[in-house]
Amino acid sequence: MSDNVPELRVVGYTDRPNYHAGDQISVYVSALGRDVAYRPKVVELVCASSDIKGPGLQERETSFAMLQPKVATQQATLTGSFIQTSFTPSPDVSFYSLGAIMKPSKPMNRRQALLSTLRADDGTGLSLYLNEDGYLCLRIATDAVVIDHQGPFVEVGEWQLAAAEIDVAADTITLRTSRAGVNSTRSRPADMRVTNMGAERFEFFGTDLRIAADHCASGPSEDGTNCFDGKLEAPAIFYRRLTVVEWLKWEQGQPPADAAACWDFSIGMKTSIVTDISGNGHPGRCMQLPARAVTGARWTGTCHSWELHPEQYAAIKFHSDDQFDCGWDVSFEIEIPEDCPSSVYAIKLENASVPEYIVFFVSPSEGERCQDVVYLASTANYLAYANWGLFDRLEYFEPARGRLTCAGPEDVALYCNPRFQKSAYDYHKDRSGIRYSSWRRPIFNLRPDTRLSSFSGDSFVLSWLDAIGQAHDVVTDHDLHQRGAHALDGCKVLITGCHPEYWSTPMVAALQAFQESGGSLMYLGANGMYWRIAFSEEWPNAIEVRRSQGGSGAWKSEPGEDCLAFTGETGGIWRNNGAACYRLLGVGTTAMGFDFATPFYRNPASYDGRANFIFEGVKGEVIGDFGIGFGGAAGQEIDRWDPDLGSPKHALVLASSKGHSDNMLGVLEDFVNTTLAAGGTMNAKVRADMVFFETGFGGAVFSTSSICWPSALPINGFDNDVATITTNVLKRFLKPEKFDLP
């Protein structure tokens, strides 16, 4: 690209988002193409927006040790999920039967391995695979010959048993496919192709069996392992010929018991381990986070919980673009100084083009009491939106949002480097929704000057705290999940960013416990506590989301796949899972729109004596008719107070927004039918409600119900009504006098 077009040329990541003073950080860096010379340094990020209406990009020098200049080369990036087993077929057998039940995804335009022992070094071994034209094939490769046998055509999107028989004595290969599962067409016979083996002598020189991929060849090729896209169930290998009845039983997910190896994916679905039920002791391990707890060939449609009927969820869904860990070599390491204050930091990689920022957070150490004020960094949200594929939906965005789509260099770089998994708002190559997101990959859109509904917008809260001289600690969503309410020990006032959308059950419990212990909450955003997520110790720091049971998101979970694999809990939105958002925040998501923002207008409740402290120094009825990016304090995503859904009835609805356009659309879960009356000019529920209420435990909650609220804080040097109200609330919440219920 031209020198006038900003270009991201080097990216990196760390192991996790949250660290403590004294920790060591491993930093992984790669060039995006040719080598890049860079100078790394650690900066504290106080404001992550360069917008001229705000304080500007604020990076502070730190006490981290100086780092030497370095050169980034392009590192090979691992992608694509599979299972690595410890099973190697015996070479001294005269008959092999091997296969798996499968449901391949679209498109099938490349080679995809089902079961493979091909060695990475010399390519010898055996691979049962689908070829580029959609045929089931078997490769037998010895040190003398490589022969590909083509079998029957495979049906995309259908459950079928795909198998091979190798009759060494008769020198024949039989490849067969047959409908499988409870919904299959039973009258259809198996489709079989018999060919001569071709090799003078069958020699089994394979290595440990891999399921859903061939063995990795080094190099950055995204399809280097011929990963499978689709579901697999009941893979097995036998050292004998199977009877017709046995084939029929295998089609129903019950292969014979005397397998040399047979893996039952319905066992241990919360884990990364797959169990060999043959009794021969050959477990496997899932690599790169394929999806477990997905409907299998035996799913009847009568059950939506994999914990109740695991046999109906005996499949694993693989994607050639699954990515838990890029697998890069460590580029350098950083020691966090023992006296490092809790804050938001970035490892800045300065180079001749756009600098890379590898963001990380330092939170108080375990056992250390927090300061009175804690800022909750939305690391779960950053993960959910990590590598949001703007250009995959460019056609949709401008008409739907009512303004030109604006991309950053990070969006262009992500599009030009498709080997990095996209966000939980995007789709896999087979058009299924991406349900996992991991920290162990570069996150292109976690950096300064990205969207104001995320990291950059959040940073206005930090810059406001800095501007008013308020000391604070930073605690992440990951800390809250891992340590519960103890992560907030000592905290009196917890302040969120603009978009704390993703919450695990332990995170919700931690917030509830914090409030029940007298803590106060300033929820300075919207769309909070919307989707339930889960974490797993098996896949550290990654999140899982299932978009089920309504909810306004980018994709829908497949029928029967409502429950999270990591925990077994029902996924979807918190509104349908106990309404925690209404109870704890006082409000819940009501609308989304991205054309412009509006002001708040004071309601009579704002003159209630309980709210006097909030509006001290505020003149006029209109609040926040200004803001960075969208021109108002109420916009992008907004929440409403709704006692029918669980909002506290004693809450004061201090102010509400109005004047939203029809591009600001009510959330799906408020409708039972499609309607033209969803937008801001016709839908009374399209409003942001600014809410205050006492918790009954001595603390209180102030909710702004708008993602745009923090973006209005910095206007006029933090001297405006939005900043005044926010500061008034913080000062009162910090006072020792408790709040009583009215």
Partner 1 sequence: MAIDHERDLGLAREFWQNPFSIHSPALAALMRELRREDPANRHFLLLVDPGRKWMLARTDSHSATGFSFYEDKLFDSPEEAEWEIFRLRWKRITGRELPLSFERGANQ
Residues whose CB falls within 8 Å of the CB of residue 736, separated by 6 or more in sequence, listed in order: none
Rounded to the nearest angstrom, the gap between the alpha carbon of residue 223 and the centroid of all alpha carbons in its chain is 22
Give the residue with the Cβ less far from partner 1, 3 or 737. 3
Give the residue with the Cβ less far from partner 1, 451 or 732. 451
Find the shortest distance in angstroms from Cβ 29 to partner 1. 23
Give the residue with the Cβ less far from partner 1, 363 or 417. 417
Find the shortest distance in angstroms from Cβ 406 to partner 1. 4
Give the residue with the Cβ less far from partner 1, 74 or 570. 74
Nearest to 159 by CA among 81, 233, 264: 233
Give the residue with the Cβ less far from partner 1, 305 or 405. 405
Find the shortest distance in angstroms from Cβ 425 to partner 1. 18
Give the residue with the Cβ less far from partner 1, 50 or 196. 50
Find the shortest distance in angstroms from Cβ 428 to partner 1. 20
Give, as one character, the DSSP assignment of residue 285.
Answer: E
Give, as one character, the DSSP assignment of residue 195.
Answer: E
Nearest to 719 by CA among 730, 729, 727: 727
Nearest to 541 by CA among 290, 274, 287, 324: 324
Give the residue with the Cβ less far from partner 1, 45 or 128. 45
Q: How far is CA 459 from CA 47, 546, 597, 704, in A?
A: 5, 28, 19, 16
Give the residue with the Cβ less far from partner 1, 315 or 354. 354
Give the residue with the Cβ less far from partner 1, 497 or 679. 679
**Residue 550 backbone zone (phi > 0: left; psi -120 to 50: alpha; other: beta):** left
Q: Are 576 and 569 in contact (CB under 8 A)?
A: no
Q: Are 472 and 496 in contact (CB under 8 A)?
A: no
Q: Is the Cα torsion angle 321, 323, 327, 333 positive or negative in sign?
A: positive
Structure tokens, 641:
């107070």
Find the shortest distance in angstroms from Cβ 443 to partner 1. 18
Find the shortest distance in angstroms from Cβ 455 to partner 1. 13
Residues whose CB falls within 8 Å of the CB of residue 674, separated by 6 or more in sequence, listed in order: none
Find the shortest distance in angstroms from Cβ 460 to partner 1. 13
CA–CA dist 151, 301 (Å, integer)? 32
Residues whose CB falls within 8 Å of the CB of residue 602, separated by 6 or more in sequence, listed in order: 615, 621, 622, 623, 654, 655
Find the shortest distance in angstroms from Cβ 294 to partner 1. 31
Q: Are 227 and 155 in contact (CB under 8 A)?
A: no
Residues whose CB falls within 8 Å of the CB of residue 640, separated by 6 or more in sequence, listed in order: 587, 588, 590, 685, 687, 688, 689, 705
Find the shortest distance in angstroms from Cβ 462 to partner 1. 17
Give the residue with the Cβ less far from partner 1, 399 or 736. 399
CA–CA dist 74, 76 (Å, integer)? 7
Give the residue with the Cβ less far from partner 1, 305 or 663. 663
Q: Is the Cα torsion angle 205, 207, 212, 214 positive or negative in sign?
A: negative
Give the residue with the Cβ less far from partner 1, 285 or 393. 393
Give the residue with the Cβ less far from partner 1, 435 or 447. 447
Q: Are 32 and 348 in contact (CB under 8 A)?
A: no
Find the shortest distance in angstroms from Cβ 359 to partner 1. 16
Find the shortest distance in angstroms from Cβ 238 to partner 1. 48
Give the residue with the Cβ less far from partner 1, 279 or 418. 418
Find the shortest distance in angstroms from Cβ 655 to partner 1. 20
Find the shortest distance in angstroms from Cβ 412 to partner 1. 7
Give the residue with the Cβ less far from partner 1, 405 or 576. 405
Find the shortest distance in angstroms from Cβ 450 to partner 1. 9
CA–CA dist 215, 486 (Å, integer)? 44
Nearest to 158 by CA among 116, 128, 188: 188
Length of the chain (residues): 742
- Report the half-sphere exposure of 167 (CA within 13 A, side-chain side): 12
Q: Are 450 and 410 in contact (CB under 8 A)?
A: yes
Nearest to 704 by CA among 579, 587, 530: 587
CA–CA dist 705, 708 (Å, integer)? 9
Find the shortest distance in angstroms from Cβ 403 to partner 1. 7
CA–CA dist 105, 481 (Å, integer)? 34
Please spell the DSSP secondary structure of 696-732, one letter per residue.
Answer: SSS-EEEE--BTTHHHHTTHHHH-SHHHHHHHHHHHH
* Residues contributing to the site for partner 1 (CB under 8 A): 1-2, 4-6, 49-54, 56-57, 391, 394-395, 398-399, 402-409, 412, 415-416, 448-449, 595-596, 630-631, 659, 661-662, 680-681
